[in-house]
């Protein structure tokens, strides 16, 4: 099965060789993005609060585990589940219990009651990008650029969705929409420039290159189509004009005879009759002496005008 553009982007962001953010503040910000978007906190009898992250992407699961181990020396439980709400698809569940759960939530300023983006994710430029990367890894979807430009964050609650939309507007002047959809809340961005901005912020360089390649190919195709349409229109126009010329010449030949025409008109009428598909420029080169395109155009117009005059007189005489 071919991977989607979003999955390939997450693959690139979570590869082992990409490493983790160097600064601890950025690692916490990325982890916070993950916790807010694909995490849930539950109360387990006898164990206290339990923190669970669920994702369908194996690379995201591995990255979350690495971050938890690096920051808190945690030993999260990992299991594979088939989630009914995901249509029976496989998901990876990462769980922290007891003190480990409390430490992670405290360091990331995440709790069941607080669904806004924590302040520590907004203080530095590097942390804002890291948080956004975590949010994309946790709940982001990305339409293939061949189909259009759409980036979505699919969230469980409205408060987090509105907080993310405000975050994008306040720090990056990106006007995101927020919609309810099938029990979820979706923050979405449309337009290539806005999506490229987000991809740049989260370090998705491979996705940026692919989008740019598609944009260049689309632009080249559009220009080629415009040129082809223009050529087709010009050809149709030329053929229509040639057909009018032939009808006018036939009428003049039937009524006056071509020999009765002035030399300049007789010569162009003969050449047009012999070469009905020739361009004006080519017709001009057949004359002796050669005549420019404008001169040929005016002579043919005179032939048409003379033919119309004769046709009108024929109609009046009926």
Q: Is residue 107 in a domain? A: yes
Q: Is residue 226 in a domain? A: no
Same structural domain for residues 52 and 131?
yes
The pTM of the full predicted model, rounded to 2 decimals, is: 0.70
Same structural domain for residues 159 and 248?
no
Same structural domain for residues 169 and 74?
yes
Same structural domain for residues 181 and 254?
no
What is the reported pLDDT for 277?
Answer: 83
What is the reported pLDDT for 73?
Answer: 86
Q: Is residue 151 in a domain? A: yes
Work out whether strand 39-44 and strand 48-55 pair parallel, antiparallel, or are unpaired: antiparallel
Task: Judge residue 284's burial from the number of C-beta atoms within 10 Å of its C-beta, 0-12 exposed, 13-18 middle, 19 or more buried.
Answer: buried
Same structural domain for residues 280 and 156?
no
Same structural domain for residues 173 and 42?
yes
Q: What is the CATH number of the domain that holds 182?
A: 3.10.28.10
Residues 6+ apart with CB under 8 A from 259: 266
Alpha helices in 39-74 (DSSP H): 58-72
3-state secondary structure of 140: strand
Same structural domain for residues 58 and 185?
yes
- List, for residues 230-254, the tens digit of each pLDDT value: 867 766 677 778 888 888 888 888 8
- List, for residues 4-38, the tens digit of each pLDDT value: 889 999 999 998 666 677 789 999 999 999 999 99
d(CA 110, CA 40): 10
Residues of the chain with pLDDT below 70 are 1, 16-19, 45-47, 83-88, 231, 234-236, 318
What is the reported pLDDT for 133?
Answer: 96
Same structural domain for residues 171 and 250?
no
3-state secondary structure of 160: helix
Same structural domain for residues 154 and 302?
no
* Token couple for 314: 């024929």
* Number of domains observed in the structure of the chain: 2
Same structural domain for residues 77 and 199?
yes
Same structural domain for residues 9 and 144?
yes
Same structural domain for residues 181 and 46?
yes
Q: Is residue 210 in a domain? A: no
Q: Is residue 209 in a domain? A: no
Q: Is residue 57 in a domain? A: yes
């Amino acid at each position: 099965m071919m991977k989607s553009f979003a999955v390939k982007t997450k693959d690139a962001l979570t590869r082992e060789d990409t490493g983790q953010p160097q600064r601890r503040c950025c690692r916490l910000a990325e982890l916070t993005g993950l916790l807010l978007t694909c995490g849930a906190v539950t109360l387990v009898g006898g164990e206290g609060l339990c923190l669970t992250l669920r994702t369908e992407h194996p690379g995201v699961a591995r990255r979350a585990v690495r971050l938890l181990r690096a920051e808190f020396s945690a030993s999260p439980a990992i299991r594979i589940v088939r989630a009914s709400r995901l249509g029976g698809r496989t998901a990876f569940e990462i769980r922290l219990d007891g003190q480990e759960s409390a430490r992670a939530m405290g360091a990331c300023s995440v709790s069941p009651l607080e669904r806004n983006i924590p302040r520590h994710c907004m203080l530095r430029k590097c942390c804002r990008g890291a948080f956004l990367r975590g949010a994309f890894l946790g709940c982001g979807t990305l339409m293939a650029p061949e189909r259009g430009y759409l980036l979505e964050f699919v969230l469980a609650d409205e408060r987090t969705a509105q907080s993310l939309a405000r975050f994008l507007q306040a720090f990056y002047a990106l006007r995101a929409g927020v919609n309810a959809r099938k029990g979820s809340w979706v923050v979405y961005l449309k337009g290539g420039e806005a999506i490229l901005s987000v991809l740049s912020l989260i370090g998705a360089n491979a996705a940026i290159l692919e989008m740019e390649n598609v944009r260049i190919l689309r632009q080249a195709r559009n220009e080629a189509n415009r040129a082809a349409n223009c050529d087709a229109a010009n050809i149709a126009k030329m053929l229509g004009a040639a057909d009018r010329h032939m009808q006018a010449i036939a009428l003049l030949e039937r009524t006056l005879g071509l020999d009765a025409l002035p030399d300049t008109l007789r010569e162009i009428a003969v050449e047009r009759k012999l070469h009905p598909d020739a361009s004006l420029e080519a017709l001009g080169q057949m004359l002796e002496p050669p005549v420019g395109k404008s001169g040929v155009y005016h002579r043919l117009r005179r032939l048409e005008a003379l033919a119309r005059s004769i046709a009108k007189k024929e109609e009046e005489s009926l």
